[in-house]
Chain A
Amino acid sequence: MAFLEINQVDKIFKDAKRGTQVQALQDISVTIEENEFVCLLGGSGCGKSTLLNLIAGFEKPTIGEIMMNGKKIEKMGADRGMVFQQPTLMPWLTVQKNIAFHLKLKRASRQKKKEEAQKYIDMVGLTGFEKHYPHELSGGMSQRVGIARALLQNPSLILMDEPFAALDPFTKLEMQEELARIWQKNKRTIIFVTHSVEEALMLGTKVIVLSKRPGRINKIINLEMDRPRDSTSPIFNRYKREILTLIEKNEEPLLEEDSMHQVI
């Protein structure tokens, strides 16, 4: 039994007002092992965020099921941590209290909340900003809080929905390196949604390339590269070319080729 199993998932959105329906995901089947860093890669509208929302339990699949540790995912829960594209911090809580929110819900002691929060504040490099409110932080710092908050609840799976998409290129690079470093130190499973080929190659152990409308799995690529990764190395560029070619071909999808790619 794999850690996370996605079994033949379809997601159809019905628009009752317009009387139409959109198929966001079609026949998604994939298994993910523990401690993998999986990047879901695809253009906008390919259903990558939808798939992540299904794993988070925000929505349910129309067909198929998603199992984590053999248990069907049906609703939100603290066994999965979520990092959103917008940091989505509680604006009325300080950095420290945002990070300790999970412990507050578990009625932990003040001392424990403070100590645990401090550990993760230090880990993401926000020491000295404990008492700041979210609106006083920059985009990158807010996202660090979002990551620290997810790490604190020690989930077996962390879901990240384009967390660095809204950051400037410098901050983005810094955050990617930091995330890779944190993941190497505290191994756990991460599913990371991105539309950037480079980002997927910088971070992942596995890249799942999704094709568009309806979202299907185009190809699953296992990355065998050393860390820290060098975006100018030949192997990096070989992977990049492979993925870009896949995406290009996807413009006119050939059924046979697709089904062949789905065999991992």
Chain B
Amino acid sequence: MKLAKQTKSLLLKVVVPVTFILLWELLSRANLISSALLPAPSSIIAAMIDWIFGTTGLVESNSGQWLVDAGNSALRVLIGYSIATVTAIVMGILIGWWKPIEQLVEPTIQMLRPIPPVAWIPLAIIWFGIADKPAIFLVFLAAFFPILVNTIHGVKSVDKNLVRAGGMMGANQWHTLRYVILPAALPNIMAGMRIGIGAAWMLTVTAEMVAVNSGLGYVLWDSYYFLRYDLVIASMISIGLLGFLTDFAIKKAMHALLPWQRGASIESI
């Protein structure tokens, strides 16, 4: 019974993409879609397989290089995102908790925040040259603000009486921040982290297209110049897949770190 239900739910999930891909393949084979504009799914899959395993040499110099490309991009995301997470959480708690610090840095942050991270690309290249550093810098910028803003909001919306309860149980300033404020703000912080990871992937790819000579974004842009649209789409799929997997990992971490929210909200996680 349960198995039948699971099969049905799985069918429901795949019916749209499968129909779409089949239709696309059929229309390509009937020459109704020009392969110069949009390669058929089968040729994209062939390109992808060679890119990953290097079996046919179909994608020439990129053959068998997928792991290196994906690894390069993932490493930039990981480093930039980690730095952003740590600094944004620490700063967010300080800003949310101490009024003087808020008054000191909040206006600056509010001024910098509306500047799209991509607008920093020229400066990033001037400052850091063409390599990993400008990409990491841009990833940091992209992930930093959503985490920071959510952390500040999380800290500010902590129940005043919860802080009092902590104080009456003997909590000093550090105890309050570590054992009351941080856990109470964690759901908001994690929400910011999920927005941040999406932004981080976006900026890695953008940076790789402009300022770096490796990674998935670089392959995507390079393939465009060489009219390899099969590889362009294979890159897009790779980026989407890795973005999805990292978001999934954060979502899992969220559930592990916030077991007390299970069953407390409408989305029973």
B-binding residues in A (CB < 8 A) = 56-58, 75-78, 80-82, 84, 86, 88-93, 101-102, 104-106, 133-136, 149-150, 153
Contacts and interface: CB of A to CB of B under 8 A. Distances in A.
Contacts of B159: 88
Contact of A135 (B166, B175, B263): B263
A105 B260 contact: no
21 contacts: A76-B167, A77-B167, A77-B170, A78-B168, A78-B170, A80-B168, A82-B164, A84-B164, A90-B183, A90-B184, A91-B260, A92-B183, A92-B186, A92-B258, A101-B166, A102-B169, A102-B170, A105-B171, A105-B179, A133-B259, A133-B260
B101 to A, nearest CB: 22
Contacts of B184: 90-92
Interface string B232-269: 00000000000000000000000000111001100000
Interface in B111-162: 159, 161-162
Contacts of B259: 133
Contacts, number: 67
A102 B165 CA distance: 10
B165 A84 contact: yes
A150 B165 CA distance: 10
A92 B162 CA distance: 12
A150 B183 CA distance: 21
Interface of B: 159, 161-162, 164-171, 175, 179-180, 183-184, 186, 258-260, 263-264
Given A90-B183, A90-B184, 12 more contacts: A56-B164, A75-B167, A77-B168, A82-B165, A82-B168, A92-B186, A101-B179, A105-B171, A106-B170, A133-B259, A135-B264, A149-B169
B161 A84 contact: yes
Nearest to A146: B165
B56 to A, nearest CB: 53
Give the interface centre of A56, A90, A93 by most chain B CB atoms within 10 Å. A90
Contacts of A89: 165
Contacts of A77: 167-168, 170
